[in-house]
Amino acid sequence: MTPELRKAYTDALDRALQAGGGAGGLDEQGNIAMSYTGDGMYRGFAKQDGQAHIFIYEDEA
């Protein structure tokens, strides 16, 4: 994920979900951004290789 994409999602999340939550998205190159306001969030994705990537905490990404 690019730093610009991560910042855009973090900023949008901070504004929209002030009480807590999370969001994810991707850009036109398929870069994935996931951001959340708590200590962790169940999240995952699969890319073209079909391998699943599943995380809960930030240090797992």
The domain limits of the chain are: 3-60
Q: Is the pLDDT of residue 19 over 70?
A: no
CB atoms within 10 A of CB 4: 11
Query: Rounded to an integer, what distance in angstroms lies between the CA atom of residue 57 and that of residue 13?
Result: 17
E-strand ranges in 1-61 read 22-26, 32-36, 40-46, 52-57
Q: 52 pLDDT band (50/70/90 cuts)?
A: very high
Environment class of 13 (CB within 10 Å of its CB; exposed 0-12, middle 13-18, buried 19+):
buried
The answer to whether residue 53 scores a pLDDT higher than 80 is yes
